[in-house]
Amino acid sequence: MVRRLPPRIEARLRERYDVTLNATDETYPLDRLISAAREFDAIVPTVVDDIPAPVFEQSDRRVQLVANYGVGYDRIDLGAARRAGVVVTNTPGVLTEDTADLAILLLLAAARRASEAERQLRAGGWEGWRPTHMLGTRVNGGTLGIVGYGRIGAAVAKRAHNGFGMRVLYVSRSDPDAAAVAAAAAERCASLDELLERSDFVSLHAPARADTRRMLDARRLALMRPGAILVNTARGDLVDETALADALSRGAIGAAGLDVFEQEPRVSPRLLALPNVVLLPHIGSATTASRVAMGDRVLANLDAFFSGLPLPDRVA
């Protein structure tokens, strides 16, 4: 059973498999997932479908593979999948560049007040060029703190350093690729607190896990520089949205650019009402090239699994 996918991927899936589509393209409800796990050999969910333990813990379960369409698998209970012997795969690598582009877009848009300025113009409120109109924050030469120096974090760092002459700081749980660090002349900080204190811009690229949940809480937001800008293209769970709305409305930080939210697709009414936050509907990987490439990875994982070959992207 699969979510709606780009047409050419759906066509290729149908050539090879007996496919049941989630025709409404809505997030799978739990009861449907539980019954799907009894009906199908493989399920292809997306990054917004919750796959909790009860889906795996069924004596008459048929599903052997959950081939996630997306790189983030934080909504899948991997422990329960492992205990049940169900294989889980994802789609890493193919959406890196587009997601990094979107992080830079949000950084620039938040710094230069692009959404606010366009809203003013469309509402007929532009009264012409004035020396004090819509003054924003200079990006060039600023210091960017990258939280999580994996593929996407490194791609953002490279763009920021080489395209905008930014100084790059980072924190990372694991040791990042040395060449990726050198490509942005990035400096490692001893702690997230230090990074927040030293950065003009902060871009989040950590996975959503129990230990990263609300890593940007009120205390940490208070460590950010006055006027600093926060960008999140990773997961909404990383930020305490109430604390963020407080910090933005008090002017404790300058602005934010958000592509992900705690309760997607619900967006906090307080964030919606603030002028100094740029809001996008989780479109980091939303280019035809990325979405087709993600489908190709799903197909590669399905094909390998059902041919008994090593899986390209196994996470459990």
* Cβ pair 66, 87 in contact under 8 A: yes
* Cβ pair 207, 315 in contact under 8 A: no
Window 72-101: residues binding ligand DGY (CB under 6 A): 72, 95
Is residue 264 annotated as part of the catalytic site, yes or no?
yes
Neighbours of 18 (CB within 10 A): 8
Considering the complex, what minimum distance in angstroms separates the CB of residue 222 from ligand DGY? 28
Question: Which stretch, 67-75, 77-85, 125-133, 186-194, contacts ligand DGY (CB under 6 A)?
Answer: 67-75
- The site map against ligand DGY for 4-43 (x = CB under 6 A) is ----------------------------------------
Nearer to ligand DGY, 285 or 301 (CB): 285
Q: How far apart are CA 28 and CA 34, in angstroms?
A: 10
Task: Select the residue interacting with ligand DGY from 66, 71, 230, 293 (CB under 6 A).
Answer: 71
Q: How far apart are CA 260 and CA 155, in angstroms?
A: 19
3-state secondary structure of 211: coil
Neighbours of 35 (CB within 10 A): 13
Is residue 205 annotated as part of the catalytic site, yes or no?
no
Among candidate residues 144, 204, 218, the one with its CA nearest the CA of residue 172:
204
Token pair belonging to 37: 């796990």
Question: Which stretch, 56-64, 66-74, 156-164, 194-202, contacts ligand DGY (CB under 6 A)?
Answer: 66-74
Among candidate residues 66, 99, 96, the one with its CA nearest the CA of residue 314:
66
Q: Is 70 in the site for ligand DGY (CB under 6 A)?
A: yes
Is residue 161 annotated as part of the catalytic site, yes or no?
no
Catalytic-labelled residue, pool 112, 235, 291, 297: 235
Nearer to ligand DGY, 150 or 176 (CB): 150
3-state secondary structure of 144: strand
Nearer to ligand DGY, 50 or 57 (CB): 50
Task: Select the residue interacting with ligand DGY from 45, 145, 236, 284 (CB under 6 A).
Answer: 284
Q: Is 293 in the site for ligand DGY (CB under 6 A)?
A: no
Considering the complex, what minimum distance in angstroms separates the CB of residue 68 from ligand DGY? 8
Q: Which residues contact 204 (CB under 8 A, 6 or more apart)?
A: 147, 148, 216, 230, 231, 232, 233, 234, 238, 239
Nearer to ligand DGY, 47 or 204 (CB): 47
Considering the complex, what minimum distance in angstroms separates the CB of residue 44 from ligand DGY? 13
What pairing do the DSSP bridges indicate for beta strands 65-67 and 42-43?
Answer: parallel
Nearer to ligand DGY, 136 or 207 (CB): 207
* Cβ pair 285, 259 in contact under 8 A: no
The residues assigned a catalytic role are 235, 264, 282
* Binding positions for ligand DGY, rule: CB under 6 A: 47, 70-72, 95, 284-285
